[in-house]
Chains A and B, each alone.
Chain A
Amino acid sequence: MLVQNTLLHMNTFYSTVKRGFLNGILITYKMVKVIVPCYIAIEFIKHLGLIEVISAFFKPCMSIFGLPGESALGLMAGYFINLYAAIAVITPLQLSSKDMTTIALMLGIAHSLPIETGVTRQTGVNAWLMLAARVVFSLFAGIVINLVWKLFS
């Protein structure tokens, strides 16, 4: 009886680990499909010298958050695609720790908006209101953390 019970427990343990492992692989597979093309695209843009043009274009609005202009690309990728795309975009840009933290905070609050708004709608809550709240608080958090960081350094 005891042996049987232990075996049963072991069984559920292994199947749980297995399910988690397979899920992890599945997530990673989805991630690779996004990261690799985004990474290559950004390296190309960098190579062609387009990054300076983009940087200069976005500089005025990104300076509100104390970020360099080219980080707008990462922010857009995060808002419209997902976090993995954003990571693939900002890693080759080699930003400072402060810039990275600011972007991470802004993207943490609002990301993959098309997908997650769909999820929110299914719970029966006003999805557009929630979408607006997320974007507003994301921008707000970016401004606040920039000011706070400057205050303490």
Chain B
Amino acid sequence: MEIIFIALKDSLALTLKLLCIILPLSISYEFLKHRQSSIEKKNFAVFGISGKGFIPLVTGIIIGLTYGAGVIIYSLRTTNTTKKEAFLILLFLSICHAIIEDTLIFVVIGANGFILIGFRFALAITLTYLLYRSRLFNAQFNGFPRKDGRIEQ
């Protein structure tokens, strides 16, 4: 019986610590939503991801897939991003998402935050770039180039 009480107390203490992280974050998400339209207008492209694709990307990196799902699905569907771009975005996000929240809640229980962020960003960027460059991946969407240089659909 005693164990239950101790566990209850400890788990509530842990929840309280996490609450201190989640509250400021959830409030800043709401502010971020207002800023989104200004990011949309910037025009740039990094490894196959265009300015349009940047909103779902940034949303995913900061907020995460579960809570950012609405924005990600909506913007991928409405701004006719190509299938190839969507795949690259999702690949990047699958490795590197909810970067603030995930990192902070693990830092609370004793992990090293710099290693976490650094490693995930490095891995995500490397993989996305390699896939963007790979011929096999591009062939999936464009068809294999033939001997005479024309592209087979």
Interface set of A (CB-CB < 8 Å, partner B): 16-17, 19-21, 23-25, 27-28, 31-32, 35-36, 38-40, 42-44, 47, 83-84, 87-88, 90-92, 95, 97, 100-101, 103-105, 107-109, 111-112, 115-116, 119-120, 122-126, 130, 133-134, 137, 141, 145
A126: chain B residues at CB < 8 Å are 87
Binding site for A on B (CB under 8 A): 3-4, 6-8, 10-12, 14-15, 18-19, 22-23, 25-31, 34, 65-67, 69, 72-73, 76-77, 83, 86-87, 90-91, 94-95, 98, 102-103, 105-106, 109-112, 115-116, 119-120, 123, 127
Q: In the bound complex, how far is the Cα of B10 from the Cα of A133, in angstroms?
A: 36
Q: CA–CA, A25 to B26, complex, Å?
A: 9
Least CB separation from A48: chain B residue: B3
- When A83-B105, A120-B90, A141-B119 are in contact, do A40 and B11 touch as well, CB less than 8 Å? yes
Residues of A within 8 A of B15 (CB): 28, 31-32, 35-36
Given the contacts A36-B8, A109-B95, A133-B94, A23 and B26 also touching, CB distance less than 8 Å: yes
Least CB distance from B102 to A in Å reads 5
B91 touching A20, Cβ below 8 Å: no
Contact B116 A123 (CB under 8 A): no
Quick check: A20 and B30 within 8 Å, CB to CB? yes
Chain A residue at minimum C-beta to C-beta distance from B10? A39
Taking a contact as CB atoms under 8 Å apart, the answer to whether A16 and B30 are in contact is yes
Q: Which residues of chain B have C-beta atoms less than 8 A from A119's C-beta?
A: 65-66, 69, 72-73
Contact yes or no, B26 A108, CB < 8 A: no
A-chain residues with CB within 8 Å of residue B8 when the two chains form the complex: 36, 39-40
With contacts A40-B4, A43-B7, A108-B103 taken as known, whether A21 is within 8 angstroms of B26 at the C-beta atoms is: yes
Contacts of B120 on A, CB cut-off 8 Å? 105, 108-109, 141
User: Are the CB atoms of B14 and A88 closer together than 8 Å?
Assistant: yes
Pull 8 A–B residue pairs with CB atoms less than 8 Å apart, ordered by A: A36-B12, A43-B6, A95-B110, A120-B65, A123-B90, A124-B86, A137-B127, A141-B119
Take A44-B3, A108-B103, A108-B120 as given contacts and tell me if A21 and B90 are in contact as well, using a CB distance cutoff of 8 Å: no
Residue of B31, B86, B94 touching A109 (CB-CB under 8 A): B94
B-side contacts of A44, CB under 8 Å: 3, 7
Listed from nearest, the 3 A-B pairs whose CB atoms lie closest are A20-B27, A39-B11, A24-B26
Give A32 to B18 CA distance when docked, in angstroms: 10
- Smallest Cβ distance from B75 to chain A, in angstroms? 10
A33 to chain B, nearest CB (A): 10
Do A125 and B112 have beta carbons less than 8 Å apart?
no
Contact between chains at A97 and B110 (CB < 8 Å): yes
**Considering only CB atoms, which chain A residue lies closest to B24 in the complex?**
A24
Q: Are B111 and A104 in contact (CB under 8 A)?
A: yes
- B2 CB, nearest partner CB in chain A, Å: 10
